[in-house]
Amino acid sequence: MSASTRRWLFLAGMAGLAAFYLWGLVGLPGFGHYPGPYGLIINKIAVAQTNATGVVSAVNFEYRGFDTVGEEFILFMAAAGVSVVLRHLRGERERPGLEQGIGADEPSTSDAVAQAALVFVGPVLVLGWWLASHAQTSPSGGFQGGVVLATAFILIYLSGGLLTFRRISPVALTDAVEAVGAGGFAAIGLAAVLMGLPYLDNYLPLGIKPGAVSSSGTIALISFFVGVEVAAALILMVGEMLEQTLLVQGEAGS
Q: By CB under 8 A, what part of segment 47-66 binds other proteins? A: 47-48, 53-60, 63-64
> Judged by CB under 8 A, which stretch of 114-122, 147-155, 163-171, 182-190 contacts other proteins?
147-155
Note whether 245 and 92 are within 8 A (CB): no
* 207 near other proteins (CB under 8 A): no
- CA-only gyration radius of the chain, Å: 24
Binder to other proteins among 5, 23, 32, 110 (CB under 8 A)? 32
Tell me which long-range contacts 92-99 makes (C-beta under 8 A, separation of at least 24). 92/248, 92/249, 92/250, 92/251, 93/248, 93/249, 94/247, 94/248, 94/249, 95/246, 95/247, 95/248, 95/249, 97/162, 97/246, 97/247, 98/162, 98/163, 98/166, 98/243, 98/247
* 31 near other proteins (CB under 8 A): yes
* 71 near other proteins (CB under 8 A): yes
* 137 near other proteins (CB under 8 A): yes
* 164 near other proteins (CB under 8 A): no
Binder to other proteins among 117, 148, 182, 232 (CB under 8 A)? 148
Binder to other proteins among 200, 220, 222, 234 (CB under 8 A)? 234
User: What is the smallest separation between the CB atom of 18 and other proteins, expressed in angstroms?
Assistant: 6
Residues 6+ apart with CB under 8 A from 57: 135, 136, 140, 141, 142, 219, 223
> Judged by CB under 8 A, which stretch of 110-118, 139-147, 176-184, 193-201 contacts other proteins?
139-147
Binder to other proteins among 117, 121, 132, 150 (CB under 8 A)? 150
Q: Which is nearer to other proteins, 78 or 173 (CB)?
A: 78
Q: What are phi and psi of 140, to 5 degrees?
A: -155, -175
Binder to other proteins among 50, 79, 185, 216 (CB under 8 A)? 79
SS3 94: strand
> What letter does residue 61 receive in the DSSP assignment?
I
